[in-house]
Amino acid sequence: MMKIIKFIFLAITFGALVLNYSCNADKLELSNPNELRPETYFKNEVQVQSAVNAIYGSLQTRGLYNRHIWFGYDNMGHENSGNPQLESDKRQYLDFSFDPSHGAIGAFWESCYRGINKANFVINNADVIGEILESEMATARKLKFDGEAKFLRALYYFMLVDRFGDVPLMLEVPDPNDPVQGQPKTSKAVIYDLIESDLEDAAAQCLDKSEEDLGRVTSGAAWALLGKVRLFQEDYQGAMDAFNNVTGYSLEDAYFDNFMEETEHGDESIFAVEFNIAAGNANRWDSDRSDQGLNESCFRGQEYGCFNWWNVFPSVNLRNEFEAGDPRFGYCFYLNGDSYNNGTLTAAITDLEQSDGSFYPRAGWRKYQNYYKQPSEGSVSGEASGINMQIIRYADVLLMMAEAEANRAGGNLATAVGYMNQVRNRADVAMPNYGTLAMDATYPVGTLAEFMVALEHERKVELCGEQVRFPDLVRWGRLAAFMTEVYDDLPLQEQEDLVFNATTHVLWPIPQTEINANESLTNADQNPGY
pLDDT digits (tens, 9 = 90+) for 52-87: 999 999 999 999 999 999 999 999 999 999 999 999
Q: At what angle do helices 103-123 and 68-76 cross, to 10 degrees?
A: 120
Where exactly are the structural domains of the chain?
1-217+500-530
Residue 289 pLDDT: 87
Residue 293 pLDDT: 86
Average pLDDT in the 283-287 region? 84
Q: Show the beta-strand stretches assigned E in 202-273.
A: 269-273
C-alpha 413/C-alpha 5 separation (Å) is: 47
Backbone angles phi, psi at 395, to 5 degrees: -60, -40
Q: 180 pLDDT exceeds 60?
A: yes
CB 257 within 8 Å of CB 263: yes
With bands split at pLDDT 50, 70 and 90, how would you rate the model's confidence at 40?
low
Per DSSP, the residues of 255-299 read GGGGGSGGGTTSTTEEEEE---GGG--TTTTS-SSS--S----BS
Residue 479's Cβ-side half-sphere holds a number of Cα atoms within 13 Å equal to 20
C-alpha 31/C-alpha 471 separation (Å) is: 37
Closest CA to 150 of 77, 191, 203: 203
Work out the mean pLDDT of the chain and round it to a whole number: 91
Residue 25 pLDDT: 31
Per DSSP, the residues of 412-439 read -HHHHHHHHHHHHT-TTT-PPPTTSHHH
For the question of whether the overall pTM of this predicted structure is more than 0.85, the answer is: yes
Question: Could you say which DSSP state residue 266 is in?
Answer: S
CB 167 within 8 Å of CB 160: yes
Residue 174 pLDDT: 83
With bands split at pLDDT 50, 70 and 90, how would you rate the model's confidence at 295?
confident
Q: 11 pLDDT exceeds 50?
A: no
C-alpha 18/C-alpha 32 separation (Å) is: 8
Q: To 10 degrees, the CA torsion angle through 46, 49, 54, 58?
A: -160
In one letter, which amino acid is 81? S
Strand partners, 312: 82
Closest CA to 75 of 66, 61, 87: 87
Write down the CATH number for the domain with range 1-217+500-530: 1.25.40.390
Q: 88 pLDDT exceeds 50?
A: yes
Residue 7 pLDDT: 26
Q: 22 pLDDT exceeds 50?
A: no
CB 420 within 8 Å of CB 405: no
With bands split at pLDDT 50, 70 and 90, how would you rate the model's confidence at 179?
low
Task: State pLDDT tens for residues 484-503.
Answer: 999 999 999 999 999 999 99
Q: In whole angstroms, how large is the CA radius of gyration of the chain?
A: 23
Residue 4 pLDDT: 29
C-alpha 301/C-alpha 369 separation (Å) is: 5
C-alpha 265/C-alpha 77 separation (Å) is: 27
Under DSSP, is residue 104 helix (H, G, I), strand (E, B) or coil?
helix
Under DSSP, is residue 102 helix (H, G, I), strand (E, B) or coil?
coil
Under DSSP, is residue 81 helix (H, G, I), strand (E, B) or coil?
strand
Closest CA to 271 of 154, 417, 167: 154
Residue 291 pLDDT: 85
CB 361 within 8 Å of CB 251: no
Q: 381 pLDDT exceeds 90?
A: no
